[in-house]
Structure 1
Amino acid sequence: MDKDKRSNFHLLLLFFVIAVFIWSAIKPAGYKIWTMEVLPAFGLLIIVITTYKKFRLTSLSYFIIALLSILTFIGGHFTYSEVPLFNWIKENFDLKRNNYDRFGHFLKGLFAIVIREMYIRKSPIKKGFWLIFVILSTSLCISTLYEIIEWLSTKIGRDGKATKEFLGMQGDIWDSQWDMSLTFVGSILALIFLSKVHSRLLKI
């Protein structure tokens, strides 16, 4: 893919992300919970857009960022425990909970590829065991930090309903452990299946 085609692809991704963001902001389940949910993805997008010319990522990394942002905006619009498709799955397969949150945390493992790109391009760590170890550690650290932020929101938030929806436990006391574990597994699978493609894009 030449430079012009890559740029057009990146613009197309940005268009879809902005379109879903605007849709997400129209009559969400609640604007407070919507803000809490979409803020991390919105902040990441601002960083990506402002650094585009100085530090351009691979198209794979941009696709992953776009996909995860869209998933976050969908979850913010409905709240993660009330996404309609996963409510349908819950009802038709007799599940105990809406698993959109679990699905989202699993796919967040894809961010390991973005982390991989940062380390390969900006650190002296070479390909091999230690690169994989540091990538997985960083991915798990980010996931853990997010769970801590969710927990802190319940301690300092005044809107009990919004903070409960943001926490999204759905009655499972092990929800945080599930979320972190799924992100960790997703990160491992992302490295197994996408590292070769990513290396070709990085030309290493």
Structure 2
Amino acid sequence: MSKKRYSTIHVALLFILIAVFIWSAIKPKTYLDWFLEVSPAVVVIIIICATYNKFRFTTFSYSIIALLSILTFIGGHYTYSEVPLFDWIKEEFHLKRNNYDRFGHFVKGLSAIVIREILIRLTPLTKGAWLTGISISILLAVAALYEIIEWLSTKISKGGRASKDFLGMQGDKWDAQWDMFLALMGCLLALLIFTKLHDKLLKRLT
């Protein structure tokens, strides 16, 4: 696949992200919660765009980043505990909670592929157990950092409504542990399924 073709796909992904971002910014539940939710994704997208000519990821990694950003924009618009589709699933299957946040953390395990690509291309690490172990460790560290940020938001705002929406515990005291566990499960599954495909795409890139 030519470099020009990759560039076309990347531009298309960026336009999709911009469209979803604009939609998410139109009358979200609260603008404070929206800002807290979408800011990390926006920062990542800006960094990726600014470094695009110096460091170009595989299209697979760009697609993962786009997917995770879209999920974040949706969660920011509705809040993670009130996404309509998952409210319907909750009612239809008589669940105790809206599981969009759990779904989101599980899918965030895909970012292990992006982490893996960065390590392969920018560090002396080679493919093998060390690469896999460090990729998993970095993903878990990021997941834990996000939970710490959520916790700090409740302390700074002294338990305000926006911080509760951002935290999204829905009455589950083990919510942070569930989020990190599901991120780990998503990470392990992503590495198990996509490692060989990722290696092939990296060879094409070089």
Q: Provide TM-score, normalisation by structure 1.
A: 0.98
1:45-87 deviation digits (Å, cap 9, x = unpaired): 0001101011000000000000000000000000000000000
| Residue in 1 that maps onto 2:182 | 182
One-letter amino acid of the counterpart of residue 192, structure 2: I
3-state SS, counterpart of residue 171 of structure 1:
coil
| Residue in 2 that maps onto 1:196 | 196
Give 1:157 shift: 1.6
RMSD of aligned residue pairs (Cα, Å): 0.9
| Residue in 1 that maps onto 2:91 | 91
1:145-193 deviation digits (Å, cap 9, x = unpaired): 0000000000012570000010000000000000000001100111111
- Output aligned runs, 1:51-90, within 5 Å: 51-90=51-90
3-state SS, counterpart of residue 125 of structure 1:
coil
In structure 1, distance between residues paired with 2:104 and 2:97: 14
After TM superposition, the runs of 4+ consecutive aligned structure 1 residues lying more than 6 A away are none
Q: Provide TM-score, normalisation by structure 2.
A: 0.97
Q: Does 1:18 find its partner at 2:18?
A: yes
One-letter amino acid of the counterpart of residue 99, structure 1: N
In structure 2, distance between residues paired with 1:159 and 1:23: 28
One-letter amino acid of the counterpart of residue 123, structure 1: T
| Residue in 2 that maps onto 1:5 | 5
3-state SS, counterpart of residue 80 of structure 1:
coil
Which one is further off, 91-100 or 150-159?
150-159
Q: Percent identity?
A: 63
| Residue in 1 that maps onto 2:31 | 31
| Structure 2 residues without counterparts, runs of 5 or longer | none
In structure 2, distance between residues paired with 1:112 and 1:162: 29
Which one is further off, 157-166 or 186-195?
157-166
| Residue in 2 that maps onto 1:130 | 130
